[in-house]
Structure 1
Amino acid sequence: MGKEFIELFEQWADHYDETVTGHDLEYKEVFRHYEAILAEVAKRTFGHVIEFGPGTGNLTEELLKRGRTVTAFEPSPAMRNLAQEKIGNRAEIKEGDFLSFEFKKSVQSIVSSYAFHHLTDKEKAEAIAAYGNILESGGKIVFADTMYESVEAYKQAIKDASEKGFHNLAEDLEREYYTTIPILKEMLEANHFTVSFEKMNDFVWIMEALKK
């Protein structure tokens, strides 16, 4: 999962939970309704769930509250340690990422929050194809992430952040691999998924894809 971002993940680890709870003005809109977003992702899952990029374990916690069996893969050692401390022995946080993970069984759900944008569009397509192979028929991919309705909307978001003086946010938007809903829809449909998108705030959408 975007191994070029590991150093950034390590830097974020200690203050990530503070940021997602709205204490950083630049990212306040990105994380508006954060708890509701995670709850909505968890609600849409069933069965054994693979989680990619659990970070500090907040979505993992929501999944466990709903009685799911969770196997999580996190590339950042610092994030992985924080997540494991938070959830204890209720689930295992393994080393791995969206494209590099060891799992030999089929599953019913695959989830992620605020992480899929660390893959290029080519890597996203590779990941979706791989998930089609391990999901059972009727299984789901449920991702919450920043995405855009068009390239123009993406460029406007960068401009808006810069004009507000949110230079860290603008830098993040330019540096990472945010994509558009039409591109994701095409990727998923090419791999025999039906997909829907629900807007949760000015940045984040929930993408729910059902394997036919």
Structure 2
Amino acid sequence: MQNSVFLFCNKQAESYDRSVEGYDEQYRDVFAGYDRILSTVADKAGQVVLEFGVGTGNLTKKLLERGKQVYGIEPSAPMRKKAAEKLSGRAVILDGDFLQFPTPPEPIDTIASTYAFHHLTDAEKDEALAKYSQLLHPGGKIVFADTAFRDKEAFRQAIEEARARGFHDLADDLEREYYTTLDVLASLFSKHGFSASFAQQNAFVWVMEAVKQTT
């Protein structure tokens, strides 16, 4: 993962929670149903969860409320500080990212993340899923919620619509980050032994549930 991602996350630490609450008009549609989306991911997670991209701890909080054991990974020190304050030390939040991270001290049954997997290129997503396949036993699952697109045409239309609405920050973000398409994601999950399903949550975000198959 590139250093620019870490810098971006550091800058977001103070403003992220306001963005997800809809204060930034450009990203209002991206975060539409945010609380429901996080609840969906938390409800699908198993008992012992490895969470990537903890951010300010919003998903972590929901996982803890459901009695889950959470090992969180977050590359941004300011984000980790915010999460620690919000969670009052109820979860282990460690430095790391989707590709380089400390292995939890106990077997995990779910890998979870929200609004973060797009920071990886498709090649890095491939590398990450290979690692996760080794961590999970058959029946274990990956549950992610993130912006993705049905196909390349839908991706192109989203950028054009953002520009037409004057949402240039959103359009630039869509072009700068590594958002991908459902067929690419399905292929990557399948390559590493997962059976994946996708459920659209708003105009941008899908919940992806991928269950590790028996090898």
TM-score with structure 1 length normalisation?
Answer: 0.98
What residue in structure 1 maps to residue 159 of structure 2?
158
In structure 1, the partner of 2:97 is 97
Matched letter for residue 92 of structure 1: V
Give the equivalent residue in structure 2 for 1:185: 186
CA distance in 2: counterparts of 1:92 and 1:160, whole angstroms: 40
Matched, 1:19 2:11: no
Question: Which range moved further: 1-10 or 19-28?
Answer: 1-10
Secondary structure of 2:97 counterpart = coil
- Structure 1 distance, partners of 2:47, 2:139, is 11
What displacement does 1:74 show?
A: 0.3
CA distance in 2, matches of 1:18, 1:179: 26
Secondary structure of 1:23's counterpart equals: coil
DSSP-derived class of the 1:14 partner: coil
Percent identity reads: 49
Whole-Å separation in 1 of the counterparts to 2:47 and 2:140: 9
SS at match of 1:148: coil
- Deviation of 1:2 after TM superposition, in Å, equals 4.2
Unpaired segments ≥5 residues, structure 2: none
> 1:172 is matched with which residue?
173
Q: Within 2, Cα distance between the matches of 1:89 and 1:172?
A: 33
**Aligned match of 1:123:** 124
Q: Which amino acid aligns with 2:19?
A: T
Once the two structures are overlaid, the 10-residue window that deviates more, 96-105 or 126-135, is 96-105
1:54 corresponding residue in structure 2: 54
One-letter code aligned to 1:91: A
Could you tell me which runs of 5 or more consecutive residues in structure 1 were left unpaired when the two chains were aligned: none
| Cα-Cα RMSD | 0.9
Partner Cα distance (1:67, 1:207) in 2: 22
Q: How many residues align?
A: 212
* Gap change, CA 1:69 and 1:2, over 3 Å in 2: farther
- Cross-structure match for 1:143: 144
Q: Provide the residue aligned with 1:28 in structure 2.
A: 28
Q: Shift of the alpha carbon at 1:62?
A: 0.5
Question: Which residue of structure 1 aligns with residue 42 of structure 2?
Answer: 42
Distance 1:69 1:45 in 2: 10
Secondary structure in 1 matching 2:101: coil
- Supply the distance in 1 between the matched residues of 2:2 and 2:211 (Cα, whole angstroms): 25
Q: Are the structure 2 counterparts of residues 2 and 60 from structure 1 closer, same or farther at C-alpha, using a change threshold of 3 Å?
A: farther
Runs of 4+ in 1 over 6 A off after TM superposition: none
1:12 & 1:168 partners in 2: Cα distance?
14
Matched, 1:80 2:80: yes
**Separation in structure 2 between the aligned mates of residue 25 and residue 47 of structure 1, nearest angstrom:** 36
- The one-letter amino acid paired with 2:100 is S
User: SS of 2:207's equivalent?
Assistant: strand
Q: CA deviation at 1:47?
A: 1.6
Give the aligned partner of residue 196 of structure 1: 197
Displacement of 1:4: 2.5
Partners of 2:88 and 2:134 in 1: how far apart? 30
Say which structure is richer in helix.
1
Amino acid at match of 1:123: E
Question: Partners in 2 of 1:2 and 1:193 — Cα distance?
Answer: 27
Q: Per-residue deviation at 1:102?
A: 1.1
SS of the residue corresponding to residue 195 of structure 1 reads strand
Indicate the SS of the match to 1:86.
helix
